[in-house]
Amino acid sequence: MRSILPLSVLLASLPILVLACSGSPEEAGDSCELDGDPCPDGTTCQAKGDDDPVCRIEAGGACNPKEDDDFCEKSLVCEPDEQNISRCSIPEGKPCDPAAADPHCSGQNVCAELKSGGHACYPPVLAHGRVFDAVTNAGIANAQVLGLNDQGSAITDIAVSAADGTYDLDLPVARNDDGSPVVITFSLRASAQDYQPFPSGLRTSLPIQTSGAVKQEKAYVLQLPLTDISLVPLPGAEKGLPSISGTVVAGEASAGVLVVAEAGGKGLTAVSSKTGAYTIFNVPPATYTVSGYAAGVALTPAPATVLSSPLTGIDLAQATATLGSVSGSVQIVNAPGGAQTSVVLVVESTFDDTFVRGEVPRGLRSPLSGAPNVSGAFSIANVPPGKYVVLAGFENDGLVRDPDPNISGTQIAHVEMPNPGQPIDVESSFKVTEALAVVSPGAEGPEGVSGTPTFVWQDDSSEDFYSVVVYDAYGNLTWENQMVPSQSGGDNVSVPYGGPALTTGMYYQFRATAWRSPGGNAGPISQTEDLRGVFFIK
């Protein structure tokens, strides 16, 4: 005979049957209990406001913004990423983890360092500009642009220009609490196939400040005249040459290394990016020694045989060599009281006798950064092995190396740091004197000129005559006047250009020298500064 359970027993068992059938949560949006079965991977059991808890999607997980509830964790937003896939992300202004492989900031925001401490998601800071041909104004594709700090160290990766020459360079700058970038100073370096690198020759890179960045829809954008870079095309015979590329492998010291491919006493250069990557363009076929120069690090040179194709994989590894130092003194004569200068080391193979300048590696300057402060003794520490030219009065400080070669302390000084390094004392002091002040063109930076230029500088007042020379960006002498009469009764000397027609877009520099001829023997007494007097034809 069948037994029949009482109704009360059946009713009492129903809740147990329902619970047994409910199961564990299986996907985002499923109901869950905060202390019950775990939610599936990538989700967390969480309640929003007064709603019952459900499995909510963690940062980085895919979501559906069209649903009434996107099921993202309560601190996240559902927004498209760079691949236009909607994901649960950290909204602008909220904390993020910079050590995470992907910090999951919303949209194109980045996990930025805060000046006050910590990190938060904010739009990137981009230097936007255009790389173009100085002669034709056409955009240059595949140019490489790099940002350097005031010590010459790379602070960015390499940005590559688009077909029209435009580029966006990501600047890793700290932020104020409102997300705006703090003010930093940096400069740009650019290079491309078939063009002179910038800066080089008579062209220098002027400092840029991030204070001009403007917040736009997806980024803080810094777009200034200085972020547009014109490159001077190489002569036809120097075009179509291969390149050398590789990586500097020196840990935290890999960024901002001056990489030089040297052959026959001459060097071709690049500067390594934040990740250590470098490319030297326009390399004639030959066998080279590729070396790296920067204060505080020694690198093992690498051989490179260039034929007709680009050469890759020429990496520079850190060496264990002892570093040295270069010391000496500067004597400032016939200059205003309190005048100060700086001293730099130039890699000898990059030194240009015409322009009396060359490439200064990161950190090989006294003082290390900032305004010139040398008026006597100087010392440059942590110098890696190599051959250098020591230059004083090289920067725009109102001073120049005394141009008279007949007195001591005015000759160009060359030093060689051995391996292992040692202290080197430059025997004779450098004599530095007051410069002839450039009035125009190019008093403060490269200046555009229409028509025939007139060169103007302040009178020396003690000269017997002047000379003036004009060079183009290739180092060719374009015009000279070796007998400009002494000035009297005025503050400035003006000399109109009298040479062949100048090329539109080409860069030039004029240099004036004051001469005195006691007893009929002429000798130079001062000249314009090495980095001033640069102009281009509009």
3-state secondary structure 266-331: EEEEEECCCCCEEEECCCCCEEEEEEEEECCECECCEEEEECCCCECCCCEEECCCCCEEEEEEEE
Please give the pLDDT value at position 136.
93
Distance from C-alpha of 428 to C-alpha of 430, rounded to nearest angstrom: 7
Please give the pLDDT value at position 18.
38
> Does 2.60.40.4070 match the CATH number of domain 438-537?
yes
In single-letter form, the type of residue at position 278 comes to Y
All CATH 2.60.40.4070 domain ranges in the chain, comma separated: 438-537
Q: Which residue has the tokens 């005195």?
A: 516
Distance from C-alpha of 435 to C-alpha of 441, rounded to nearest angstrom: 16
All CATH 2.60.40.1120 domain ranges in the chain, comma separated: 125-317
- Longest distance between any two alpha carbons in the chain, whole Å: 146
Low-confidence ranges of the chain (pLDDT < 50): 1-5, 7-21
Please give the pLDDT value at position 489.
67
**Strand blocks (E) in 60-197:** 77-80, 86-89, 110-113, 119-122, 125-133, 144-148, 159-160, 166-170, 185-191
Strand-strand pairing, 423-425 and 185-191: unpaired
In single-letter form, the type of residue at position 133 comes to D
CATH code of domain 125-317: 2.60.40.1120
Please give the pLDDT value at position 17.
37
Which CATH number does the domain 324-434 belong to among 2.20.180, 2.60.40, 1.10.10, 1.10.3470? 2.60.40
Please give the pLDDT value at position 80.
87
Q: With CA atoms as reference, report the closest residue to 190 among 223, 227, 164.
A: 227
pTM above 0.75, yes or no: yes
In whole angstroms, how large is the CA radius of gyration of the chain? 32
Tokens linked to 50: 């007064």
Beta bridge partners of 454: 496
